């Protein structure tokens, strides 16, 4: 895009913009006047957003960013600041699902999951904060999951990363408020995105002789049923837009009727009662 930076009051950066929630969030922010840097690790996946941005003449700049690479992150942030002089919104969406029972997970697989879902978020946020503190304003949006509020079988690695994001974000909110910086958690339920195409299945979990095979098959069947009634990714990006344009946003936003139902059950049941419900998944 050949948009002028001075034409826009707000600058947004979205990680994981090649597809799913990050893709939709980049589009909705740009359609609502944000000069949006849609970042992604794999530039080969940029054609769709590039085509829509050109067709609608949206203020989107497609940029390479690998959240597991400090140099990539720092270069991207410095480029944005040199081009615009500010950074108003950071949406941390980059992430993936590692599927498999805990015993079937290798340490390398767990570390890789954390490198993207947790440490990637930490890296990008730390890179953005000095500019936000200097301008005395900013919004950090961390795309968590309703899985950051309770666990489920076969999701130990992914769930634990989202629990980490929840605790990290809540603690950061206290630290950053005095500098005019808001921290927001978005907690989607089951969403119809192509995240299933990027699910990494643990190697041991792929072995039919795994002691957890029967459980895994049961969870997979339940998830397929949930996907039939899942919310669209557009629901999540609308929640993000509402949050970042609100002068006094909530710390947490739940996205999806299923997520609201589960959370209500979690609040109103004892741990034992909720455990029995989750065992049926």
- Tell me, what's the pLDDT at 195? 62
pTM: 0.94
CB-CB contact of 231 with 256 (8 Å): yes
- Residue ranges and CATH numbers for the domains of the chain are 5-279 (3.40.50.720)
At 169-203, the pLDDT tens digits run 999 999 999 999 999 999 999 987 766 667 999 99
- Is 158 annotated as catalytic? yes
Kindly tell me the burial class for residue 204, based on how many C-beta atoms sit within 10 Å of its own C-beta (0-12, 13-18, 19 or more).
middle
Average pLDDT over residues 140-159: 97
Flag whether pLDDT at 5 surpasses 70. Answer: no
User: What does 50-80 look like in DSSP terms, one character per residue?
Assistant: HHHHHHHT--EEEEE--TT-HHHHHHHHHHH
Average pLDDT over residues 232-243: 92
- Tell me, what's the pLDDT at 14? 98
Separation in Å, CA 87 to CA 57, 101, 160, 232: 22, 40, 29, 28
- Tell me, what's the pLDDT at 44? 85
- Tell me, what's the pLDDT at 45? 87
Separation in Å, CA 52 to CA 191, 214, 222: 22, 43, 35
Flag whether pLDDT at 4 surpasses 50. Answer: no
**Strand ranges across the sheet with 181-188:** 60-64, 34-40, 10-14, 89-92, 138-143, 181-188, 252-255
Average pLDDT over residues 76-91: 97
Among candidate residues 158, 174, 212, 275, the one labeled active-site is 158
- Tell me, what's the pLDDT at 1? 42
Average pLDDT over residues 28-44: 95
Average pLDDT over residues 109-132: 98
Q: What percent of the chain has a predicted confidence (pLDDT) above 70?
A: 95
Return the closest-CA partner of residue 45 out of 94, 98, 111, 10.
Answer: 94
Name residues whose C-beta falls within 8 Å of residue 71's C-beta, 6 or more positions apart in sequence.
none
- Tell me, what's the pLDDT at 8? 65
- Tell me, what's the pLDDT at 7? 47
- Tell me, what's the pLDDT at 229? 81
Average pLDDT over residues 259-280: 94
Residue 76, CA atoms < 13 Å, CB-side half-sphere? 30
């Amino acid at each position: 895009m050949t948009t002028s930076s001075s034409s826009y009051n707000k600058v947004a950066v979205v990680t994981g913009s090649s597809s799913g929630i990050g893709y939709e969030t980049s589009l909705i922010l740009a359609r609502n006047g944000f000069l949006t840097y849609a970042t992604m690790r794999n530039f080969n996946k940029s054609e769709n957003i590039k085509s829509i941005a050109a067709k609608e003449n949206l203020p989107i700049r497609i940029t390479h960013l690998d959240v597991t690479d400090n140099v990539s992150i720092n270069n991207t942030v410095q480029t944005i600041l040199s081009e615009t002089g500010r950074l108003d919104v950071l949406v941390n969406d980059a992430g993936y699902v590692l599927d498999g029972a805990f015993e079937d997970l290798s340490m390398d697989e767990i570390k890789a999951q954390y490198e993207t879902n947790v440490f990637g978020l930490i890296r990008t946020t730390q890179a953005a904060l000095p500019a936000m503190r200097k301008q005395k304003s900013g919004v950090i949006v961390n795309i968590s999951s309703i899985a950051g509020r309770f666990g489920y079988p076969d999701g130990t690695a992914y769930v634990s990363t989202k629990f980490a994001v929840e605790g990290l974000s809540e603690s950061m909110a206290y630290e950053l408020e005095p500098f005019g910086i808001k921290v927001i958690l978005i907690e989607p339920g089951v969403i119809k995105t192509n995240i299933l195409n990027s699910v990494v299945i643990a190697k041991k979990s792929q072995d039919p002789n795994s002691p957890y095979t029967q459980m895994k098959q049961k969870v997979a069947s339940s998830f397929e049923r949930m996907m039939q009634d899942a919310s669209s990714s557009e629901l999540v990006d609308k929640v993000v837009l509402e949050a970042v344009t609100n002068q006094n946003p909530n710390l947490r936003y739940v996205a999806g009727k299923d997520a609201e139902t589960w959370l209500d059950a979690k609040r109103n049941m004892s741990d034992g009662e909720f455990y029995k419900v989750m065992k049926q998944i």
